[in-house]
């Protein structure tokens, strides 16, 4: 028995693979390495270097490797850039998920944990979002993730697909020193790279309707996030019904400027960030309750903001 992890060579996916294996589950990774790294996959975990759009390849791998469940993280994940690349975003995230579900159907695999996103909410009109907050995505990325949730819902109706979708908020930090965020668009790697090169980090917009004018986000540690996937996958494998959607959030918001202050404190490098233009597709504030996930997935914030910053800094160094 094994779990197929799509996108398992990426930052979050590789953490999920490590957590699944620590939880006693064998893993197989499918990743075309367009943004992932071969070195992030343990040497004793099979890596299938293909895109999930290659339906027959994925289906064959599932049968040959006796896959019983899928954790689906593969996709194009850059919300801001998706505004300029909507067709590519839909191809990778929507057509990719359709292809994966087709492969699962051919292989007789009927359990999936889906990597969704806080981007499905857009800019909510409540201080703290719950799973009942109406989705209102503001970018092709957010729209593609919402469509992914719909695809799973419809697959469940049509042929009894057992599923759950985990809506990530801002995932940061490192759980092990050899895995880290290499995204060219995420806040933590951008700040750390700038400091490492002697440049001044930049804030994208300081005129948002928030207390200090910078975006407010809900930051969660990647290790805590990975652990929730293990619980979700195990429950699906054990036949335990789960909610269709869970927020993985802390309930607390932190502004980008506060993050900059925390980075300066953790690294000992004093700096006054530059202020740039807003990025398209960035909502002013989004913070979520994780109460439902705490009830069903043992979700908890086991790392502080300082832990998140220091672990990210140490891993990148």
| Phi, psi of 88, rounded to the nearest 5 degrees | -65, -40
Alpha-carbon gap, residue 17 to 12, rounded angstroms:
9
The kind and range of the H/E element at 47 are: strand 46-48
Pairing relationship of beta strands 202-204 and 245-248 according to DSSP bridges: unpaired
Distance CA(164)–CA(174), nearest Å, equals 25
Phi-psi label, residue 205: left if phi above 0, alpha if psi -120 to 50, beta otherwise: left
Strand, helix or coil at 221?
Answer: strand
Closest CA to 316 of 164, 232, 194, 148: 194
Residue 112 zone, left/alpha/beta (φ > 0; ψ -120 to 50; rest): beta
CA-to-CA distance for 215 and 254, rounded, in angstroms?
Answer: 8
Burial class of 287 by CB neighbour count within 10 A (0 to 12, 13 to 18, 19+): buried
Give the C-alpha separation, 201 to 194, whole Å: 6
Q: Is 219 in the active site?
A: no
Q: Which residue in 76, 78, 90, 141 is the catalytic one?
A: 141
**Type and span of the H or E element at 30:** strand 26-30
Hey, which residues are catalytic here? Answer: 141
């Amino acid at each position: 028995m094994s779990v197929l992890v799509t996108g398992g060579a990426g930052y979050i996916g590789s953490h999920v693979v490590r957590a699944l294996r620590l939880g006693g589950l064998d893993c197989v990774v499918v990743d075309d390495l367009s943004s992932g790294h071969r070195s992030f996959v343990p040497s004793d975990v099979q890596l299938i270097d293909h895109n999930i759009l290659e339906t027959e390849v994925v289906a064959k791998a599932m049968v040959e490797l006796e896959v019983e469940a899928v954790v689906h993280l593969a996709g194009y994940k850059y919300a801001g850039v998706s505004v300029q690349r909507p067709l590519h975003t839909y191809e990778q995230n929507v057509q990719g998920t359709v292809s994966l579900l087709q492969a699962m159907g051919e292989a007789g695999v009927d359990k999936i944990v889906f990597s969704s996103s806080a981007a499905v909410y857009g800019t909510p009109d409540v201080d703290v979002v719950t799973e009942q907050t109406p989705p209102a995505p503001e970018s092709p990325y957010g729209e593609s993730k919402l469509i992914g949730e719909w695809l799973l819902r419809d697959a469940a109706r049509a042929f009894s697909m057992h599923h759950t979708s985990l809506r990530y908020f801002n995932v940061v930090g490192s759980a092990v020193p050899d895995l880290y965020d290499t995204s060219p668009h995420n806040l933590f790697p951008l700040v750390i790279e700038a400091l490492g090169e002697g440049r001044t980090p930049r804030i994208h917009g300081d005129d948002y309707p928030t207390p200090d004018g910078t975006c407010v986000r809900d930051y969660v540690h990647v290790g805590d996030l990975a652990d929730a996937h293990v619980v979700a996958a195990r429950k699906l494998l054990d036949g335990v019904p789960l909610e269709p959607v869970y927020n993985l959030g802390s309930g607390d918001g932190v502004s980008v400027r506060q993050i900059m202050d925390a980075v300066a404190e953790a690294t000992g490098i004093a700096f006054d960030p530059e202020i740039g233009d807003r990025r398209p597709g960035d909502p002013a504030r989004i913070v979520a309750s994780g109460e439902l996930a705490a009830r069903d997935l043992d979700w908890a914030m086991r790392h502080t903001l300082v832990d998140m910053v220091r672990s990210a800094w140490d891993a990148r160094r």
